[in-house]
Chain A
Amino acid sequence: AQTVTQSQPEMSVQEAETVTLSCTYDTSESDYYLFWYKQPPSRQMILVIRQEAYKQQNATENRFSVNFQKAAKSFSLKISDSQLGDAAMYFCARRSGRDNTDKLIFGTGTRLQVFP
């Protein structure tokens, strides 16, 4: 099965500190896309960052960056200078390119708590 695994059900971080959320995935494809989505209590799914598998350079969006290790099939999210508003569920997802069906496969999520 083509799966996405988030091994940390919950994480916590002090405000202004840095936290890393882990994600590993399984795929037989060479070209695919990886995403981190944030889901606050409002339930809205918000895209945080995306990474194209063919790109060597790790994606960065302001305080959010990824550590993409293609050979290890690892895609971790680093949040720097954590803020109270970062508290949410975070989902890692891989977009399947097989048959051009564009399916998103999600991990089970990591709940991030941010303490003042």
Chain B
Amino acid sequence: NAGVTQTPKFQVLKTGQSMTLQCAQDMNHEYMSWYRQDPGMGLRLIHYSVGAGITDQGEVPNGYNVSRSTTEDFPLRLLSAAPSQTSVYFCASSYLLRTDTQYFGPGTRLTVL
């Protein structure tokens, strides 16, 4: 069982470049989310989705776009990368119940020069 997968594992970008971080889950979870992890700040929610076609902003959404065309996939797009977006990015998924545990992907380490 693959669980939550993320690609790539590492990425280096130049300021102004765009890219998409991929996230996929094979557990038929309705809820998917993106977090970023910065030193001393824990994980902060960027965007989330409660089902295909439905997305909403989290705590730190600026500079990021998401879409949810299928239940399985939830890509995160950086339209014009900035050094402030250097971080480790985690995707997570769960069933749409407060009782359920969120399962995390292995993370993507992004560096913006």
Contact = CB atoms under 8 A, between A and B. Distances in A.
A52 B109 CA distance: 32
A109 B43 CA distance: 9
B56 interface: yes
Interface residues of B, number: 28
Contact of A108 (B42, B50, B97): B42
A64 to B, nearest CB: 15
B25 interface: no
B102 interface: yes
A52 B99 CA distance: 8
B42 A45 contact: no
A91 B98 contact: no
B107 A106 contact: no
Interface of A: 4, 31-33, 35, 37, 42-45, 47, 50, 52, 91, 93, 95, 97, 100-109
